[in-house]
Amino acid sequence: MSKIEVMDTNISLKKNKVGDYISLTDMAKYKNPDATGLVISHWLSTRFAIEFLGIWESVNNPNFNVTEFSNIRANAGANGNVLSAKQWIDKTNAIGIVSSAGRYGGTYAHSDIAFEFGSWLSPEFKYYLIREYQRLKAAEQAQLGWSVKRELSKINYRIHTDAIKQNLIPAELTSRETSIVYASEADVLNMALFGKTAAAWSTENPDAQGNMRDYASINQLICLSNMESLNSVLINEGLPQSERLEKLNQIAISQMTVLENAGQNKLLEITK
């Protein structure tokens, strides 16, 4: 569960399979901290709120009870009509608003709906709510990026420590291929990993947008990144291009074997 602060009001957020849900109970404290349920009920009883909720549920909820919604909409805005969050959920099978009791309970709404509630509370409150929500999402994306880098580091460590004998992944280069003098170091790496130069790939794929590396898999890009560093070391050691190419090809075979055995799905586990 995350929290943001909007105009001196602490607001909780939680996730479910539908998306981000923001605490209406916390938001209502901005208007009346002693009667948050009543604040939410007053908003739910307005025709504007019911119309918006009906549209949202119709788009996102296949089990939305349209018949009950029509009855509620007919009474919306009438004098004396008060609709609680629980009544709305129970009557219409709504999923955009959820309500629960207990220490971590309260009434939460999907961010789309919470922003509309914010408009009713105060245009200024809504503005800062959206701003803080966007700041939180940016921070989460930055954290995800760091996690991906950390996972890549783990895989690279495994490459350097595991010794796995499997079938060859890249094709092993012939002595003729390693003896050719290639015009660029980029093509040395291309030959070691892909078995062809950039020009040869472009000739084979005249309609492709971009270059060969744009079509590489995640595993190939990881391997390529490691090979670039290793090639720099080999150049500094004074190895001729033909020897470097032979070594890099063997390294590509070994590393791709490890990566393919590890499985690309491990890269996605951090997002679950």
Closest CA to 229 of 151, 173, 159: 159
Residue 99 φ/ψ, nearest 5 degrees: -140, 135
Question: Which segment of 19-23, 24-28, 98-102, 187-191 scores lowest on mean pLDDT?
Answer: 98-102
Confidence of residue 269 (pLDDT cuts 50, 70, 90): very low
Q: CA 23 to CA 109: how far, in whole Å?
A: 6
Q: Are 115 and 129 a contacting pair, CB within 8 Å?
A: yes
41-54 pLDDT, tens digit each: 999 999 999 999 99
Residue reference for tokens 């971009």:
210
* Whole-number percent of the chain with pLDDT over 90: 43
Closest CA to 251 of 216, 219, 226: 226
Express the helix, strand and coil content of the chain in percent, nearest 5 each. Answer: 65, 10, 30
pLDDT of residue 160: 43
Is the pLDDT at 167 greater than 60? The verdict is: no
pLDDT of residue 40: 95
Here the tokens at position 141 are 């994306």
215-241 pLDDT, tens digit each: 888 888 888 888 888 888 888 888 888
Confidence of residue 22 (pLDDT cuts 50, 70, 90): very high
198-222 pLDDT, tens digit each: 889 999 988 887 888 888 888 888 8
C-alpha dist (Å) from residue 91 to 23, 64, 88, 192: 21, 9, 5, 65
pLDDT of residue 268: 44
Query: How far from chain centre, in Å, is Cα 215?
Result: 21
Q: Please list, in sequence order, all residues whose beta carbon lies within 8 angstroms of the beta carbon of residue 25, skipping any fewer than 6 positions away.
A: 36, 37, 40, 106, 107, 108
Is the pLDDT at 266 greater than 60? The verdict is: no
Here the tokens at position 4 are 């943001």
pLDDT of residue 270: 41
Bridge partners of 14?
Answer: 21
Is the pLDDT at 264 greater than 50? The verdict is: no
C-alpha dist (Å) from residue 154 to 148, 160, 169, 220, 230: 10, 10, 21, 16, 18
Please state whether the predicted TM-score (pTM) of the whole model is above 0.75: no
Is the pLDDT at 111 greater than 90? The verdict is: yes
